[in-house]
Amino acid sequence: MPTPNTQTSGSTGLPSLEIKLCSDDTVGGTSSQRPLGIKKAKLKKIRDDNVLKLISTMKKGHRDLLNVLQQGSTELQQNYDFKMLALQNEKKNLEIEERKIETRQQKISLAILQEENKILYMDLTTIGDPEVRDMVRKESAKILPKRNEAHDQREHDVFGNYFGDFGGLVSNLRDY
């Protein structure tokens, strides 16, 4: 039998059962727990945000490291270029010094040649002092073999290139 608080269905007269599916049936009338699916989704979102922050931090770290490496590489290249320029400059300076030394040696050789020519072309009959005449004659005797040797060497250098080793071991020709 229906009680005064119980609702009856209009057509049958039977009492109807009212079922509440809300979670408001707890003491105090409100629930502090969320459904399980929402909590997992929130945790996943927090985890994803943390992973994105970590990836972002790592990317920034990699960019910073790449910048440092590029700066180091640039500095190394600049240092290398600077040292190469310094070495090229030093090489040019050495070449200039070598040319200066060669020029000095040529001037000295020319001065010696001029002095030797003076001695060789001296007229011994005009020298009155016999000791001086004898000294000039001895100097001429030293100069002439040296000049002949140098002259022979120059001829050999010139003609040796054209007529070197006729019938010798190098040309593999028979002896004649």
> What are 115's two structure tokens?
């002095």
Contact assessment for residue 127 and residue 136, using Cβ atoms and an 8 Å cutoff? yes
pLDDT digits (tens, 9 = 90+) for 85-129: 999 999 999 999 999 999 999 999 999 999 999 988 888 888 889
* pLDDT given for residue 38 in this prediction: 87
How does DSSP classify residue 36? H
Lowest mean pLDDT among 24-28, 45-49, 63-67, 85-89: 24-28
pTM of the model: 0.44
What contacts 24+ positions apart, CB below 8 Å, involve 148-151? none
Question: How does pLDDT run across 30-48, given as a tens digit for each residue?
Answer: 556 666 778 888 899 999 9
Q: What is the pLDDT of residue 146?
A: 86
Among the residue ranges 7-11, 63-67, 138-142, the one predicted with the least confidence is 7-11
Check: CB of residue 172 under 8 Å from CB of residue 166. no
Domain ranges of the chain: 34-95
